[in-house]
Amino acid sequence: MEVLIFPSYDEMSKAAARVVADLINAKPNAVLGLATGSTPIGLYRELVRMHKEEGLDFSQVVTFNLDEYVGLPKDHPQSYHYFMHEHLFKHINIPPQNIHIPAGTTSNYAAFCRWYEERIKQCGGIDLQILGIGADGHIAFNEPGSSLGSRTRIKTLARQTIEDNARFFGGRVEDVPIYAITMGVGTILEARKIILLANGRNKAKAVAAAIEGPVTSMITASALQLHPDVTFFLDEEAASELKMIDYFRWVQSNKPKAPKT
């Protein structure tokens, strides 16, 4: 587990985008796991810039999004379909058939969830999964209490998540969907490499619990401790509750000289 701390949101976003771009350059048909929310917006902005200015090529890239609200049509401004289109897909050269996002309005959720898991496997599995973290320690919509072996399924959102996300719905808690379709913790842990981004004070407790606390379904991000290749990209505020912060800074500052593994 690697922890990288950056002086600003911008620097954090650019460093994470570099990881994504390096993978795409090394493996043009890479399979990416994508996240929504306010956290990865800077990362997507940087990928768009790299596409436009440096020719970063998405023509063979395949993507799978983590989650979607149940009941929101694709063109709803708060749907994750809409978010991904606005922040990334409409600005790059990814073929539409390479994009996978859980369906918020399917007539058969159980069948869809099975198909989504199967489709990830057919595409060779996820090479790089991008994650944010909720203030309650969730990854994707795996709320506290989710099985650490869970697969793609319907989840009831925690009140905290609904309140946190009300800001995207004009502050109206009653407009936030109660259910979401989400990859499970077990699905996420099968990605070959995982990067989790977090910025801001309100993430500091969840970040510390995920990195330094026990592995527990009460903080589903703590399951990442079981994964062999996870990097946390944090700004100073999100890192501020880490007890081991001096050690993480020490490792980071010595990284350029470290033997390559």
- Residues with catalytic function: 67, 136, 138, 143
Residue 178, CA distances (Å) to 99, 154, 234 in order: 25, 10, 29
- Closest to ligand PGA by CB, 33 or 132: 132
We find the least distance from the C-beta atom of residue 113 to ligand PGA, in angstroms, to be 19
**Nearest CB to ligand PGA, comparing residues 9 and 248:** 9
Catalog residues that contact ligand PGA under the rule CB under 6 A: 37-39, 132-134
CB-CB contact of 64 with 100 (8 Å): yes
3-class secondary structure, 53: helix
- Minimum separation from the CB atom of position 95 to ligand PGA (A): 27
Identity of the residue, 42 or 56, whose beta carbon is nearer to ligand PGA in the bound complex: 42
- In the complex, least distance from residue 57 CB atom to ligand PGA, rounded to whole angstroms: 27
CB 177 within 8 A of CB 70: yes
Closer of 30 and 137 to ligand PGA (Cβ): 137
Give the separation between CA 101 and CA 104, rounded to whole angstroms. Answer: 9
Whose CB is nearest to ligand PGA?
A: 37
Q: How far is the CB of 217 from ligand PGA (least distance, A)?
A: 16
Three-state secondary structure along 192-229? Answer: CEEEEEECCHHHHHHHHHHHHCCCECCEHHHHHHHCCC
- Terminal alpha carbon distance of the chain: 13
Under the phi-then-psi rule, with left for phi > 0, alpha for psi from -120 to 50, and beta for the rest, what region is 36?
Answer: beta
